[in-house]
């Protein structure tokens, strides 16, 4: 995995942000670093989230936002939970969003609406929805075991997903929301 797409700055993204999970996930995210911004913990770059599409269009227009709105117009708001942890082959540890098939279908709808923006720059064309809790360099089986134990003891909060956030990365690698598109 190269993460070459992530080394660019000024990216835009469509995200499912779940700041309600920060108190739950910061124990892992505060000591984890992005491979593209290793000097800063994940907690200082971006809130807990499930990536829908990154990189998105460089300079989103009203037409791009309308295209996104149309792509998610049939998706009604729903409850989103994170009952299990796992990891990708590169070591990145994550929480799995449920209902997984609904989240995956939402991502597929957005991918279809923006074929010129392959997920993760085309590196992961079959992107799996997840909430990263630890990057590849700090992740691994120990983090997954700790997360599974934490989830068994006290489940992560369930949130109501009502919108997708539109985000832009600044020159320092921190992300800021600049808009939102409602579901349904």
The enclosing domain of 84 has a CATH number of: 3.90.1140.10
Residue 178 in any domain: the answer is no
**Distances from the Cα of 183 to the Cα of 110, 112, 180, angstroms:** 12, 16, 10
CB neighbour class for 32 (10 Å; exposed up to 12, middle 13-18, buried from 19): buried
Count of CB atoms within 10 A of residue 66's CB?
A: 11
Domain count for the chain? 1
pLDDT tens profile 11-21: 999 999 999 99
Within-domain flag for 153: yes
Chain segment 108-130, per-residue pLDDT in tens: 999 999 999 999 998 887 889 99
The per-residue pLDDT for range 143-161, each reduced to its tens digit, is 999 999 999 999 999 999 9
Has residue 7 got a pLDDT over 70? Answer: no
The three-state secondary structure class of 81 is strand
DSSP 155: P
Domain containing 48: what range? 3-172
According to the model, what pLDDT value does residue 2 have? 44
| Domain membership flag for residue 177 | no
Sheet holding 93-98, edge to edge: 131-134, 93-98, 78-87, 159-161
């Amino acid at each position: 995995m190269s993460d070459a797409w992530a080394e660019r700055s000024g990216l835009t993204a469509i995200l499912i942000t779940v700041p309600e999970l920060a108190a739950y996930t910061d124990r892992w995210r505060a000591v984890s670093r992005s491979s593209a911004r290793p000097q800063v913990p994940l907690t200082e770059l971006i809130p807990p989230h499930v990536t829908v599409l990154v990189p998105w269009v460089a300079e989103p227009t009203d037409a791009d936002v309308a295209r996104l709105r149309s792509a998610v117009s049939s998706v009604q708001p729903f409850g989103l939970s994170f009952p299990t942890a796992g990891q990708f082959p590169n070591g990145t540890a994550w929480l799995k969003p449920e209902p997984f098939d609904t989240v995956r279908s939402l991502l597929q709808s957005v991918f279809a609406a923006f074929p010129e923006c392959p997920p993760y720059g085309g590196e992961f064309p079959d992107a799996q929805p997840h909430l990263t809790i630890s990057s590849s360099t700090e992740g691994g089986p120990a983090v997954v075991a700790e997360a599974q134990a934490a989830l068994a003891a006290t489940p992560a909060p369930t949130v109501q997903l009502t919108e997708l956030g539109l985000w832009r990365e600044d020159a320092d690698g921190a992300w800021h929301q600049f808009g939102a598109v409602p579901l349904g």
